[in-house]
Amino acid sequence: MMSHASAPGKIILFGEHAVVYGQPALAVPVHQVHADAEVSDSDRAGIWVDAPDIRLHAEHSRLALDDALGAVISLVCAETGTCPAETISSSSGETASQKDARRVISKGLEIKVTSSIPLASGLGSGAAVSVAIIRALSAHLGQPCDDETVNKIAYEVEKIHHGTPSGIDNTVVTYGKPIFFIKGQPIELLDVAKPFTIIIGDTGIPAPTKESVAGVRKRWEQDKRKMEMLFGVAGSLAEVARQSIEKGHPERLGALMNENQRVLTEMGVSSPELDKLVEASRKAGATGAKLSGGGRGGNMIALSTKENAPTIVEALYAAGAKNVIVTDVR
Ligand code: PMV
């Protein structure tokens, strides 16, 4: 028997970093890239993880305690009330489905993880891998997690990736729909009244979110007044952007994106390579562009009309983008 699950990548349209400090932000899934998990029974004892993209092939119990993949598996086992045979001391008080799941797990499992989402680039690869594994593994154990549980577990794992995550990545990846997000509040799906086109340009420079989030925190500690003012502006831009999207005026997003980029630059999270791609896309006709995600590398996004998209794609490659994705937000 084999169980499979897939989870999309994501981009943040507005409000990255400020969202960590309680401001609203907007994020949308990117279905062109995805992480996939396949769980199958195996004759070999233990839970084996095979992640060829990161050259990992190891038994779960041998993974380091702070390993994100290991943590996902442990959390799913805890949630479903199952755990690998060797750690069972007593099995009294189990439900029938827990007994069943334990039978599956004690025989041995193989979890294969693949992903077309570039690592450390602001496209949510960590969250997507977590969500795919949580869904495939819990389903294979006969106790599929609902969205809320998937999101909760993925958030726990984001803490290993990011340190102090807002939770926006795991939420948009779990629900696979555009969201308006405020840390700690119930999720709100965005109602996209008129579809629009976003072009995503990759600088090809990996930039761990943990580091850029720590950099922003340092600046905040040094000058709270200035940084909180910038967070506030980013939050207001996200609010206005939400109105524009829900009222059918996506063309208004361009100016808001440019303003958000200015604010992010002041927060210290842009980079010469991001600036170059942002500039190139604007020159090629994008009405707005900004970095997306943690910054300091990774991806930028540009707002385009459908007709002008090829021109912007070409301009981004000419300016050094390593990969470009065109996605329709709907
Ligand atoms: O780099 P990404 O795509 O993981 O973006 C993280 C977004 C931040 O706001 C910078 C951090 C967070 O936890 O929200």
Condensed to tens digits (0 to 9), the pLDDT of residues 201-235 reads 999 999 999 999 999 999 999 999 999 999 999 99
Residue with tokens 């190139």: 280
Most confident among 35-39, 45-49, 88-92 (mean pLDDT): 35-39
Structure confidence at residue 83 (pLDDT): 66
* pLDDT tens string 117-166: 988 888 999 999 999 999 999 999 999 999 999 999 999 999 987 888 99
Whether residue 93 is predicted with pLDDT greater than 80 in this model: the reply is: no
Q: Which of 36, 41, 66, 169 is catalytic?
A: 169
Structure confidence at residue 8 (pLDDT): 98
Which DSSP string corresponds to 124-180? -HHHHHHHHHHHHHHHHTT-PPPHHHHHHHHHHHHHHHHSS--SHHHHHHHH-S-EE
**Which domains does the chain show, CATH number per domain?**
2-181 (3.30.230.10), 191-329 (3.30.70.890)
C-alpha span between 79 and 37 (Å, rounded): 18
Mean pLDDT of the chain: 93
Name the residue of 13, 205, 213 to mutate for ligand 1: max ligand atoms within 8 A of Cβ.
Answer: 213
When pLDDT is cut at 50, 70 and 90, the band that residue 99 belongs to is low
Query: Using N-to-C axis directions, what is the helix angle for 68-80 and 147-162, rounded to 10°?
Result: 150
When pLDDT is cut at 50, 70 and 90, the band that residue 176 belongs to is very high
Query: Looking at residues 278-307, what average pLDDT do you find?
Result: 97
- The answer to whether the CB of 327 falls within 8 A of the CB of 198 is yes
* pLDDT tens string 318-327: 999 999 999 9
When pLDDT is cut at 50, 70 and 90, the band that residue 100 belongs to is low
Whether residue 315 is predicted with pLDDT greater than 90 in this model: the reply is: yes
Residue with tokens 């050259």: 55
Residue with tokens 């496209």: 123
Q: Whose CA is nearest to atom 13 of ligand 1?
A: 165
How many A from CA of 152 to the centre of ligand 1? Answer: 17
How many A from CA of 209 to the centre of ligand 1? Answer: 6
* 250: three-class secondary structure by DSSP: helix
Query: Looking at residues 55-65, what average pLDDT do you find?
Result: 89
> Any catalytic annotation for residue 169?
yes
Q: Which ligand 1 atom is at minimum distance from the Cα of 10?
A: 3
Between 86 and 81, the more confident residue is 81
Which of 39-43, 45-49, 161-165, 232-236 comes out lowest in average pLDDT? 161-165
C-alpha span between 327 and 306 (Å, rounded): 10
